[in-house]
Amino acid sequence: MDLRRKIESREARVGVVGLGYVGLPLAVEFAQAGFTVTGIDLDQRKVDALNRGESYIQDVSTAEVKALVDAGRLSATTDFSAVNTLDTINIAVPTPLRKTKDPDMSYVVNACQEIADHFHAGMLVILESTTYPGTTDELMLPMFEQPDRKVGEHFFMCFSPERVDPGNPNFQTRNIPKVVGGITAQCTEMGALLYAQALETVVPVSSTRVAEMVKLLENTFRMINIGLANEIAMMCDRMGTNVWEVIDAAATKPFGFMPFYPGPGLGGHCIPIDPFYLSWKSKQAGIEARFIELAGYINGQMPHFVVDKVQNALNEHTKALKGSHVHILGVAYKRDIDDVRESPALDIIHLLLKRGAKVTYTDPFVPKLKADGIEMDAVCICEGLAKADCVVIVTDHKAFDYGRVVDQARLVVDTRNALKGRDSSNIVRL
């Protein structure tokens, strides 16, 4: 049976390589659509958890995973020989930056090498990891194409950017429109056909390079606008104006304005990283990505700005930062999630420790903080509020009782406008 009919009848054997924040929800959607799905990951703990029917990703429930595993529609392995039996593969492995801010493609290359060893004619392979334009046709395609194995004829290759937003209650993998571009028109058609079985809206584009660039435009747009909001926040601070009120009032304009908000700095696996994939590639094409570099610089200043605010606030209470106790509320990179990758809290903690403060934290989603050379256990919020000289709201988790924070803390520096509408002399806003 050819691939098209296998996909339409849901008899295609679907594979997902990389079972993290992106891969697991995608594997679950394909399995729920009726496919038999095999996840492949190098992390034995994730593979074991999935095979026991347990979810380790906040947005996917254990009940969903268990039902699919029990029905024989979802399983996982660390063994790439499983590719021998698969018809389609979606790749969702990490694409971090090196220390020099160059793309680290080693995860994609390693995964593709393993897949290529077991690849066979008739397969569809789709890269979902965020990357620079040209990755799919320059880097991936040569690993799969052979003189007698032509793309668009004997196998199909696409890029489809992942747009999932962990913790978003309204938009998840299934209802976020899926952009897909193939190396050839036949590849795009096959990729779109696969996604159409499981996801609500598919947006085909003319090439893998367009699809790669779509993701970088989206995330660069966010990063630069957050950079602008942060710069406006620093200006407002200097001029004694409440930036949050300014943005809320500007947002009442029904056209031509979209609100972005300042904060303690960028976090997560996407916004602080992806634009540098674009600037790296555009430099090779002879164009300096100046907006990206500038926004990167301004956003990178925010943890320093926050720590300066803490220091100034303590000074006004005749206390020095050195030797003071600062309690951080929230270390995840955004509200109501457990991910601390690139979290600005890490920079803020480092800076506070460097200036001689004692630091503790509370985060209902992160009981232990082990990242970036920091190893700390969360303490009870009651202890932080009672003992700290200053409390800093870095992540505005809904679970925090902000009324109690204002009532009990000596001093609160609010980097997220979590205390909007509250008025008290111990509040210092960004």
Ligand X SMILES: NC(=O)c1ccc[n+]([C@@H]2O[C@H](COP(=O)([O-])OP(=O)(O)OC[C@H]3O[C@@H](n4cnc5c(N)ncnc54)[C@H](O)[C@@H]3O)[C@@H](O)[C@H]2O)c1
Q: Which C-beta is closer to ligand X: that of 35 or that of 159?
A: 159
Give the footprint of ligand X on residues 169-228 (CB under 6 A). none
- Separation of alpha carbons 136 and 249, rounded Å: 44
For residue 277, the minimal CB distance to ligand X (Å) is 9
* By the rule CB under 6 A, 409 interacts with ligand X: no
Assess 337 for contact with ligand X (CB under 6 A).
no
Does 76 interact with ligand X (rule: CB under 6 A)? no
Rounded to an integer, what distance in angstroms lies between the CA atom of residue 138 and that of residue 153?
Answer: 18
Q: Which of residues 88-147 bind ligand X (CB under 6 A)?
A: 92-95, 107, 110-111, 129-130
Least separation in angstroms between residue 340's CB and ligand X is: 12
Tokens of 76: 């996982």
* Cβ at position 270, least distance to ligand X in Å: 5
Q: How far is the CB of 45 from ligand X (least distance, A)?
A: 9
The single residue listed with the structure tokens 């990891």 is: 129
Does position 41 bind ligand X by CB under 6 A?
Answer: yes
Rounded Cα–Cα distance for residues 137 and 184 (Å): 10
Q: Which residues are catalytic?
A: 270
3-state class of 16 per DSSP?
strand
Distances (CA, A) of 351 to 305, 310, 325, 331, 374: 11, 11, 13, 14, 12
Does position 19 interact with ligand X (CB under 6 A)? The reply is yes
> Would you say 46 or 397 has its CB closer to ligand X?
46
22-26 contacts at long range (C-beta below 8 A, 24 or more positions apart): 22/92, 22/128, 22/129, 22/162, 22/164, 23/90, 23/92, 23/128, 24/50, 24/55, 24/56, 24/57, 24/60, 25/57, 25/59, 25/60, 25/164, 25/172, 25/173, 26/90, 26/92, 26/128, 26/162, 26/173
**Does the footprint of ligand X cover residue 231 (CB under 6 A)?**
no
Window 265-284: residues binding ligand X (CB under 6 A): 269-270
- Nearest approach in angstroms of CB 337 to ligand X is 9
Applying CB under 6 A, the span of 6-14, 18-26, 119-127, 344-352 interacting with ligand X comes to: 18-26
Report which residue's Cβ sits closest to ligand X: 20
Position 214, amino acid? V
Determine, following the binding rule CB under 6 A, whether residue 324 of this chain makes contact with ligand X.
Answer: no
Binding of ligand X at residue 46 (CB under 6 A)? yes
Residue 25 interacts with ligand X (CB under 6 A)?
no
Q: In whole angstroms, what is the distance from residue 177 CA to residue 172 CA?
A: 10
What CA–CA distance (Å, rounded) separates 53 from 19? 14
Nearest residue (CB) to ligand X, 79 versus 200: 79
Candidate list 4, 8, 43, 186; residue touching ligand X; CB under 6 A: 43
291 binds ligand X (CB under 6 A): no
∠ CA(117), CA(121), CA(126), 5° rounding? Answer: 75
Sign of CA dihedral 287, 139, 77, 171: positive
Number of amino acids touching ligand X (CB under 6 A): 27
**Which DSSP symbol is given to 138?**
I
Stretch that binds ligand X, among 11-19, 61-69, 285-293, 310-318 (CB under 6 A): 11-19
Give contact residues for ligand X (rule: CB under 6 A): 17-23, 40-43, 46, 92-95, 107, 110-111, 129-130, 162-164, 166, 269-270
